[in-house]
Amino acid sequence: MSKIANMMRQAQKMQEKIGEIQKELALKTCDAAAGGGMVTATVTGAQEVVSIKIDPSVIDPKDPEMLQDLVVAAVNEGLRRSKQMATDEMSKITAGLGVDIPGLF
């Protein structure tokens, strides 16, 4: 088998593995909290926010900006953790190849 054909086969296997990992990541979640746990966001490995929990004690009609800030902070941290989880999983495939695939997720 030629070197190019072998490389193509390896690339196809890698692409299949990436697809499998993407499916697995869509089922995994990351939780992140803000305000000492007053607001919690749950994000999938596919970077989708699936839930936001807000402690009723943090809801102050006179200060909606505080609640907005806590929600944004929790969601952003959840997304950061989700991206890190995806990066960690993908590095298992790309480890040893000597390549960095920026923006894969």
User: Where residue 12 sits, what CATH number does that domain have?
Assistant: 3.30.1310.10
* Residue 13 pLDDT grade (very low, low, confident, very high; cuts 50, 70, 90): confident
- Tell me if 24 is assigned to some domain: yes
Show the tokens assigned to 28: 């995994």
- Tell me if 105 is assigned to some domain: no
- Tell me if 102 is assigned to some domain: no
Across the range 8-16, mean pLDDT stands at 86
pLDDT tens readout for residues 30-73: 999 999 999 999 999 999 999 999 999 999 999 999 999 999 99
The residue ranking higher by pLDDT, 16 or 41, is 41
pLDDT tens readout for residues 69-85: 999 999 999 999 999 99
What Rg value do the Cα atoms of the chain yield, rounded?
19
* Cα–Cα dist 105/91, whole Å: 11
- Tell me if 10 is assigned to some domain: yes
Pick the closest to residue 73 from 89, 86, 54 (CA basis): 54
* Residues spanned by the domain of 31: 3-94
Amino acid at 103: G
The model's pTM is 0.76
Q: How many domains does the chain have?
A: 1
- Tell me if 35 is assigned to some domain: yes
Q: Quick one: pLDDT at residue 17? A: 87
- Tell me if 99 is assigned to some domain: no
Query: Using an 8 Å Cβ cutoff, are 87 and 74 in contact?
Result: no
- Residue 59 carries which DSSP code? -
